[in-house]
Amino acid sequence: MSGIYIHIPFCKQACTYCDFHFSTSLKQRDAMLHAMQQEVNSRSSELDAPVGTIYFGGGTPSLMSEQELGSFIAQAKSTFQVDANAEVTLEANPDDITSERLAAWRSIGITRISLGTQSFREDRLRWMGRAHTAEHALASIDLIAKAGIASWTIDLIYGLPGMTLEEWDEQLTIALDHGVPHLSAYCLTVEPRTALAHQVKQAMVHMPGDDDQSAQFDRLMERMETAGLDHYEISNFGKPGHHSRHNTAYWEGVPYLGIGPSAHSFNGTTRRWNVSNNARYIKALDEGTRYWEQEILTAAQRTNEALLTGLRTSAGVAIERLEVDAIGRNSSAVERYVSSGHLVLGGGRLVLTKAGRHFADRIAADLFVSDDAG
C-alpha cells in the first residue's frame, strides 16, 4: 500500500509555536486548490502500489468546504488505485466541528478525524494563539464521538511553560473521561522563526527543564497504559483498531505522494519536496515549470531514516531493513544502550525500552552510518 498526503496551506490565525507552512490569507484559495488538482493529474503515474491512506493535513483542512474536500477524494479515486477500505483522515480544529459538518465529511468518505485540541484550558489556548476556546475543545470531542466516524484522535501538548504534573494529569483525565480512542501527545519544542522562539530569546517565556518534561512523559505513558491505549509510537497512543495507518506507513518507509506547497514525497529511494511558497507554487503549476527539489537517498541515508523512524515505534526496526550494517559499525553504542536498559536487540529487531523512549532521537543518531565509513 502507498499513501497520499494533501497539504492545505491555510489557517485562521498563526499559533505561537508553529513552524509549518501556512497562510492566514484565503485570497489565493481557489487558485491554490486548482493548482493542487493540477499537481495530482501531473503525478498520476508515480504510485505503483494501491493507495491505502489519504491524509488531509495543513494548515487547517477543515477550513475547506465539503465539496472541495470531496473533489480531492474523488480525483484521487479516479487517478489512482485507492483501496476500498482506505483510511481517509482530515485534520480539523475544534471550532470547525458541527454535527452537520461531521455528517457531510462522513458522506464524502472521511473515515478519521484528527482534532487539534492541544489543551482544554482557556489560558493555554490563548497563549498558544489557538482559534478555538476551551468550550469548543470539549464540545467538539462529544460531537465526534456521536458522529459515527470510524476513528478519531486528539492532539495535546505537554512541556508548556509553567506546566505542573497536576495540570498535565488534569488534561489526560479530561481526554480519557471523554473516551478518546487515540491520543497524539507532543512535548512543546521551540522551533526557529516562531513567535515562541522570539519569546524565549527575549526571556518573556521560560521553558521547563528536562526533568519536568521527562516526568510528564512518564505520566503520559503510565496513564495511557492503564487506560488500554497502545504506545505504538513515541508520541502516539491508540486502542486496538485505532492506530493511524497513514503515519504508521511513514514510519515503515512506505512510498507516499505529497500534494501542495511544502508537501514531501518519498518513493523508496528519492525524497522530493515542493516549494514552500504559495504564489510560486501556483505560478509554476499554471506555467508547467518546476516547483520542487529532490534528492536520491544513499544506502546510508536510507538506513539512517529507517533507524530514526523505526526506533520511535513499539515494533522497533527490522534489522533486515537496514541496508548498511549500522549495528556492526556501531557495536559499542549498541552494547552500551543494551546494557543500560535502553535498547533490546533480538528476534531480528532493534527495539527501545520504556526508558529508552526518552532518548529515541539521541540513540538513533548514535547508530547513524555514513557512506564513506569502512
pLDDT tens column, 218-239: 999 999 999 999 999 999 999 9
| Domain assignment present for 258 | no
End residue of a domain, out of 222, 250, 278: 250
End residue of a domain, out of 227, 250, 273: 250
Do β-strands 151-158 and 182-187 pair in parallel, antiparallel, or remain unpaired?
parallel
Are both 332 and 243 inside the same structural domain? Answer: no
On whether the CB atoms of residues 29 and 10 are closer than 8 A, the answer is yes
- Interaxial angle between packed helices 66-79 and 29-42, expressed in degrees from 0 to 180 and rounded to the nearest 10: 10
What's the pLDDT at 20?
Answer: 86
Q: What is the pLDDT of residues 72-100, one digit of tens each?
A: 999 999 999 999 999 999 999 999 999 99
On whether the CB atoms of residues 28 and 282 are closer than 8 A, the answer is yes
What's the pLDDT at 19?
Answer: 83
- Residue whose entry in the numeric block shows the C-alpha cell 526506533: 311
Which residues, in sequence order, are bridge partners of residue 230? 238
| Domain assignment present for 266 | no
Q: Which domain holds residue 318?
A: 299-366
| Domain assignment present for 233 | yes
Q: How many structural domains compose the chain?
A: 2
What's the pLDDT at 374?
Answer: 46
Cell numbers at 188, concatenated? 512543546
Q: What is the pLDDT of residues 355-368, one digit of tens each?
A: 999 999 999 999 99
Can you give the CATH number for the domain in which 107 is found? 3.20.20.70
Please state, in angstroms and rounded to a whole number, the distance separating the CA atoms of residues 374 and 370: 9
DSSP H/E element including 5: strand 2-8
| Domain assignment present for 374 | no
Cell numbers at 251, concatenated? 514510519
pLDDT value at 64 more than 70: yes
Are both 85 and 175 inside the same structural domain? Answer: yes
7-16, 19-28, 68-77, 83-92: least confident range: 19-28
- What does pTM read for this prediction? 0.96
Q: What is the pLDDT of residues 173-205, one digit of tens each?
A: 999 999 999 999 999 999 998 999 999 999 999
| Domain assignment present for 315 | yes
- Rounded mean pLDDT, 333-345: 98
Candidates 182, 186, 128; CA nearest to 158 is: 186
Are both 317 and 206 inside the same structural domain? Answer: no
End residue of a domain, out of 213, 233, 250: 250
Helix, strand, or coil (residue 282)? helix
What's the pLDDT at 34?
Answer: 98
Q: What is the pLDDT of residues 297-311, one digit of tens each?
A: 999 999 999 999 999
Are both 48 and 122 inside the same structural domain? Answer: yes
pLDDT value at 373 more than 70: no
Tell whether the torsion through CA atoms of 86, 87, 92 and 98 is positive or negative. positive
Are both 35 and 129 inside the same structural domain? Answer: yes
On whether the CB atoms of residues 161 and 207 are closer than 8 A, the answer is yes
| Domain assignment present for 263 | no
Which pLDDT band, with edges at 50, 70 and 90, does 165 fall under? very high
Rounded to 5°, the CA angle 10-139-233 comes to 65
68: phi then psi, degrees, rounded to nearest 5: -65, -45
Are both 200 and 316 inside the same structural domain? Answer: no
Tell whether the torsion through CA atoms of 344, 350, 353 and 358 is positive or negative. positive
| Domain assignment present for 256 | no
Burial of 78 (0-12, 13-18, 19+ CB in 10 A): exposed
Please state, in angstroms and rounded to a whole number, the distance separating the CA atoms of residues 184 and 320: 29
Please give the C-alpha separations between residue 314 and each of 236, 319, 371, in angstroms, as whole numbers.
Answer: 10, 15, 28
Contacts of 313 (CB under 8 A, 6+ apart): 232, 233, 234, 248, 251
Please state, in angstroms and rounded to a whole number, the distance separating the CA atoms of residues 203 and 193: 15
What's the pLDDT at 371?
Answer: 83
pLDDT value at 26 more than 90: no
